Structure 1
Amino acid sequence: MSLIIKAEKAIDLLKTKYLMKCKQSTYSGEKYNIKYLFEEKKGSKDLLIVFTACTKVGQKARYNYIKTLDEFKCNKLFILDDFGFDERGAYYLGKDKDFAIEKDVESLINYICEKIGPNKEFYIGSSKGGYAALYFGVRRKDTYIVVGAPQYNLGNYLNLPGHTEILKYIMGNCSQESIRILNELLKEVLIINKENRNKIFLHYSDKEETFDSDLKPLIDELRSLNYESEFDLEHYESHAELTKYYPQYIKKILSKNLSR
């Protein structure tokens, strides 16, 4: 990693910590309190809704892409997923099969949308955040969904070494039935909402470790369901490398599609 990139990441981290300490709000849902940052821009009818990826082991969840999106002067809603056994996240879904985090996050999104009445909604996230951006974004009509290498067969992914505690937190166990339910979750949402006229922009690599298990099946499903989709293909060899490429893709898509 170059010194410039390291410096940018350090600055981004400092700003994020400041915002979490001084600007963070809490939405009281029916069961869970959802932490978020909302940057309101008077006169803008665009809303960016940004979800968090998993942090490293031992590092609590924090907001993503704050610096990346700083140049875009519009409404921004950053939603934190700090649930889970180690506060690194529960895929915005729930605990012990209650799926109540999901309902409260959806309620927060509805609350902010009612508050500002956006003409355009952009759902943004990578990896875990990309899963959430798809999961929540396709439920609303005419949205723009800009994602980087999301998981798709979530049950299989969380059943891998290093992730099973997340699976156990969300579903209460690691049974084959729990794995099956999570594998079908995003697919069912895509099928149910295929008439919502969403536009999906997907950045991915065909060389990284989740391509065959998650990305290729997702791409095939989007094509099968006739989603309006655009694919940004790279060839890096590690899922972790998407953070080098995806931020520029966000900027490219927003520059083309934000209101003028």
Structure 2
Amino acid sequence: MLMNNTEQTYQAGNGQIIKYRQKAAKYDFNHLLVVFSGFLHAKPGNYDFANALNDCPCDVLWIADDFQGMYTYYMCINQDFCVEKAVQEFIGVKLDELGLTWKQMTFTGFSKGGSAALYHGLKFGVKNIVITVPQINVGSYIHNH
């Protein structure tokens, strides 16, 4: 099954709206790949690796970093970590829907997405984190750019 080209939304308990796309597993693979996106445009709204992961045998979940019309590194708005909480709630809901655990996931991303994959993955003990060129000093990067 190809990626659902329709962007979907989820409203977290704290009111944050999460935009996402999802592709169902081709086989009984029992794994979820969560993709965090890097920068693409001045305004948010991209899904990294979309074409490359269409043939991936496991479930794939692309989460847009588009919260209140801005990039947030999937963490916070004005130092309010409401985005972090909403993203973690959303991933938990998806895991429950699939009958999976935090150990049956891989987080991936590059640049900004790599930072988010590393941040959320380490926080929750995700077994597999595959990233490239993460921005480690996020606060300094945002301040300077």
Q: TM-score range by the shorter chain?
A: 0.7 to 0.9
Q: Secondary structure at the match of 2:107?
A: strand
Per the TM alignment, residue 106 of structure 1 is displaced from its structure 2 partner at its CA by 0.5
Question: 2:52 matched to 1:68?
Answer: yes
- Residue 66 (structure 2) aligns with: 82
> Which consecutive aligned stretches of 4+ in structure 1 deviate over 6 angstroms post-superposition?
none
Task: State whether residues 74 and 84 of structure 2, in contact with CA within 8 Å, keep that contact through their aligned partners in structure 1.
Answer: yes
Identity of aligned residues (%): 31
| 1:44 paired residue number | 29
Note the residue ranges of structure 1 that are not aligned, 5 or more in a row: 1-14, 164-260
In structure 1, the partner of 2:90 is 108
Name stretches of at least 5 consecutive residues in structure 2 with no aligned partner.
none
More helix by share: 1
Cα distance in 2 for partners of 1:44, 1:136 equals: 23
- Computing the radius of gyration from Cα coordinates, the structure with the larger value is 1
Aligned CA distance change for structure 1 residues 39 and 128 (closer, same or farther; 3 Å): same
Distance change (3 Å), C-alpha of 1:127 and 1:142: closer
In the aligned structure 2, how far is the partner of 1:137 from the partner of 1:68? 22
SS at match of 2:74: coil
Check the 8 A contact 1:55/1:88 in 2, yes or no: no
Structure 1, residues 110-144: CA drift from partner, whole Å, max 9, x if none?
11111113362110100000000011111233520
Contact kept, 8 Å, 1:122 with 1:144, in 2: the verdict is yes
Aligned match for 2:78, one of 96, 117, 126: 96
Aligned residue type for 1:28: Q
Alpha-carbon RMSD: 2.1
C-alpha change, 1:159 and 1:65, in structure 2 (3 Å) is same
- Offset, 1:28: 0.6
Normalised TM-score (structure 2): 0.86
Per mean C-alpha deviation after superposition, the further-off stretch among 112-121 and 68-77 is 112-121
Amino acid at match of 1:83: F
Letter in 2 for 1:44: F
Q: Structure 1 26/142 Cα, relative in aligned 2: closer, same or farther at 3 Å?
A: closer
Residue 146 of structure 1 corresponds to which residue in structure 2? 130
Q: Count residues in correspondence.
A: 140
Query: 2:7 is matched with which residue?
Result: 24
- Report if the CA contact (8 A) 1:61-1:89 is conserved: no
> How many angstroms does 1:73 deviate by?
1.5
Q: CA deviation at 1:153?
A: 1.1
